[in-house]
A and B are shown apart, each in its own frame.
Chain A
């Protein structure tokens, strides 16, 4: 019966480019579309923070201690309205959040990209050469993945010390194993397909086969893992910064803003850590939602 059902439900072939099809599949889920729009807005804010922020929270000449601990919506003597209030140093929270997003996203995305590159190359090497190389690499990956990311990050930070570069290195070292495993998995599937055999028969160089033939086919799962991992990296960086072992005070990410708010929260100044947290949450949730939908759309098994 199943065969006949297949036959009878064959749709008339629509002429659609892969991109159009991807867009229409993605738009099936309205929540994901909203998340995508929010994410684009967040990225826009992060990139253009210095130009769109109401004030520069780190220009000491403009920040006045007299404006400290103002409630959301208060207007200062200079006529600036602090929509989200100010912190204990008198900085406008909205502007701080814009700048914080810039740092948090920057660190998260940069570590994500570096980890993706390193992890993919290692994963490809494992898949392409197989044997002992593969065993060794995957053993390291397994050991690392059996430890929670926060613990690995704490170990690395305790080894490397703090600082922007150290945090990025730690985040890269935490993430690379996920990429390596993903790439190896899909590369192993692709490697046994005929077109790779054909490429090998044509005596194409190893590099060419790996990067021109294997790599593009590993991209879809990589994109999905990439979005989820970037969200993780942002969350992890915020956690480390909150614990005081992440970014230095000179680079105030969202995690540091929240930590600053923690100090004054018990005296009722809820907004100082509430709003940066909301910004962090919205960022992570929208990345995760977009990632979820990407996974559904890019998963060939679920394709209609």
Chain B
């Protein structure tokens, strides 16, 4: 994986052309090439890179002259804040709508919800983002169109959601990023609810004289949350990947925007570092989802404990 990325990124273009002042003399060019390690054969550069990577050094950015890893790690909180907010929005909006549609599959309101979810799947994220900016920022002027707004430092991490200004900056990009996942959650919740409603345990819960709200909110919801949480956990990685698009549209200073800028500038240490980190994030997310799954589903939890 790292090999493919590394070799690939290095043949994309010649960073020397872009980085060096065209009027620089030959000695200057040689010095820069040597500084950046570009004069060595590719396989040596790779071994050098792997050796450094193991020590936590993924190279220096050609543009910023700083450690690529550091540049990306600095941007992680912004991206995570965006992705997490989107995830929460997906659950808060998607689950109630999905459960409602699952309880009354033939009602017109439910069909409207499902049509909306098909639309949500089809809408190109970036275009919806543009339209949101146009309507809410340009035409109505309710929300700011770009940036992160005022941030507050919590435990050494800059966050937006604790200030009113930051929150208003966060709302549109998070909703934009959440759109696809809302549609997904609606479908999952609807399918789960429809299935659960025909189960004996729901009928038995009613036969016990439980109120309809307890039947739905406890008996049905607890069962459908298992697939919803599992899938959403896995989708968190895709949220981070898709934040590339949303961050570009809303100029959100996260790692996705950094990647796109770096792709334009052929700043390959950053590209490589980004890909390494995103793979790591995916591995960690998968682990967390496994743990979450066993917490939610007693059948899995107790089987594991017994082993």
Chains A, B in direct contact (C-beta < 8 Å): yes
Q: Is B24 an interface residue (CB 8 A)?
A: no
From 226 to 260 in chain B, residues with beta carbon under 8 angstroms from any chain A beta carbon are: 237-238, 241-242, 244-245, 248-249, 259-260
Range class of the B interface residue count: 35 or more
From 116 to 160 in chain B, residues with beta carbon under 8 angstroms from any chain A beta carbon are: 118-119, 121-127, 130-131, 133-134, 138-139, 145
CA gap between A160 and B12 in the complex, in Å? 6
Residues of A within 8 A of B145 (CB): 266
Q: Is A128 an interface residue (CB 8 A)?
A: no
Q: Is B4 an interface residue (CB 8 A)?
A: yes
Q: Which of A151, A265, A281 contacts B123 (CB 8 A)?
A: A281
Closest to B264 in A: A244
What are the interface flags for A183-222 relative to B under an 8 Å C-beta threshold, 1 for contact and 0 otherwise? 0000000000000000000000000000000000000000
CA gap between A204 and B291 in the complex, in Å? 50
Question: A289 with B118: in contact, given A150-B245, A277-B124, A284-B124 (CB under 8 Å)?
Answer: yes
Residues of B within 8 A of A148 (CB): 237-238, 241-242
Residues of B within 8 A of A231 (CB): 122
Q: Is B271 an interface residue (CB 8 A)?
A: yes
Q: Is B13 an interface residue (CB 8 A)?
A: yes
A161 touches B13 (CB 8 A): yes
Q: Which of A157, A265, A270, A281 contacts B124 (CB 8 A)?
A: A281
B124 touches A150 (CB 8 A): no
CA gap between A270 and B132 in the complex, in Å? 11
Max chain B Cβ within 10 angstroms of own Cβ: one of A147, A157, A268: A147
Residues of A within 8 A of B210 (CB): none
Q: Is B37 an interface residue (CB 8 A)?
A: no
B245 touches A243 (CB 8 A): yes
Max chain B Cβ within 10 angstroms of own Cβ: one of A159, A261, A265, A289: A159
Residues of A within 8 A of B238 (CB): 148, 150-151
| Chain A-chain B contacts (Cβ-Cβ < 8 Å), number | 114
B4 touches A159 (CB 8 A): yes
What are the interface flags for A230-269 relative to B under an 8 Å C-beta threshold, 1 for contact and 0 otherwise? 0100010011001111000000000100100110011010
CA gap between A292 and B31 in the complex, in Å? 60
The distance from the CB of B233 to the nearest CB of chain A, in whole angstroms, is 13
Q: Is B167 an interface residue (CB 8 A)?
A: no
A265 touches B4 (CB 8 A): no
A292 touches B264 (CB 8 A): no
Residues of B within 8 A of A262 (CB): 130, 249
B127 touches A258 (CB 8 A): yes
CA gap between A284 and B138 in the complex, in Å? 27
B130 touches A161 (CB 8 A): no
A274 touches B134 (CB 8 A): yes
Q: Is B215 an interface residue (CB 8 A)?
A: no
Residues of B within 8 A of A255 (CB): 124, 126
B244 touches A150 (CB 8 A): yes
Residues of B within 8 A of A238 (CB): 124, 126-127
CA gap between A243 and B275 in the complex, in Å? 17
B127 touches A273 (CB 8 A): yes
A151 touches B127 (CB 8 A): no
Residues of A within 8 A of B133 (CB): 265-266
Q: Is A125 an interface residue (CB 8 A)?
A: no
Using a CB–CB cutoff of 8 Å, the interface residues on chain B facing chain A are 4-5, 7-9, 11-13, 118-119, 121-127, 130-131, 133-134, 138-139, 145, 237-238, 241-242, 244-245, 248-249, 259-260, 263-264, 271, 275, 278, 282, 286
Using a CB–CB cutoff of 8 Å, the interface residues on chain A facing chain B are 146-148, 150-151, 154-155, 157-161, 231, 235, 238-239, 242-245, 255, 258, 261-262, 265-266, 268, 270, 273-274, 277, 280-281, 284-285, 288-289, 292
Closest 3 CB pairs of A and B: A159-B8, A148-B238, A277-B127
What would be 20 A-B contacts, judged by CB atoms less than 8 Å apart? Answer: A150-B242, A154-B263, A155-B8, A158-B8, A159-B8, A161-B12, A235-B122, A238-B127, A239-B245, A242-B126, A244-B260, A245-B263, A262-B249, A265-B130, A265-B138, A268-B138, A270-B134, A284-B122, A285-B118, A288-B122
